[in-house]
Amino acid sequence: MNPTKIYLTQTDTTVGFLSQDYKKLNKIKKRPFNKKILIEVDSLNTLKKFSRIPKRFKKQVRRAKKTTFIYPKGESFRVVKDEKHLEFLKKFKWMYSTSANLTGQKFDKEWAISKADVVVEGKEGLFEGEASKIYKINNYKIKKIR
């Protein structure tokens, strides 16, 4: 498996494009190349390689499900706990992730398949689910974004 290819798969929250090349993902979504993008990780150990969790929020990050945290340096991470998606993600340890639609649009399966290099589809198929909760944290406070 090539980590720089664009994978279309059912994530723990909704249908998403995943790759270790964020520029390709931003190009598909027609966003600026410098726009930061979510990183999904397979474990807290992998997360530690990217960022330090502020001490007062470690327990909350560890226990959170389907939740994205924006860290003090502006990077956003989600530790995946969903078994089906985690099985895919463990092959790469981490990947950039974004919803499989044009910004502000609904999921269009044909469009998404045309943009992906590889389609990873399980028995359930691909479906637009509920977006993750998003919290912005710093060393002192937490703020709910979505």
**Is position 2 within any domain?**
no
Q: What is the CATH number of the domain that holds 93?
A: 3.90.870.10
Say how far apart CA 119 and CA 10 lie, in whole Å: 10
**Is position 1 within any domain?**
no
Say how far apart CA 99 and CA 112 lie, in whole Å: 10
Domain count, the chain: 1
Per-residue pLDDT of the chain (146 residues; tens, 9 = 90+): 899 999 999 998 889 999 999 999 999 988 888 888 999 999 999 999 999 999 999 999 999 999 999 998 899 999 999 999 999 999 999 999 999 988 778 888 999 999 999 999 887 878 888 888 999 999 899 999 98
Question: 65 lies in which domain range?
Answer: 7-144
pTM for this model (two decimals):
0.91
Q: Report the side by side order of strands in the sheet with 15-19.
A: 118-120, 7-10, 15-19, 94-99, 38-41, 76-79, 67-70, 133-137, 142-144
Closest by Cα among 73, 35, 72 to 57:
72
**Is position 70 within any domain?**
yes
**Is position 107 within any domain?**
yes
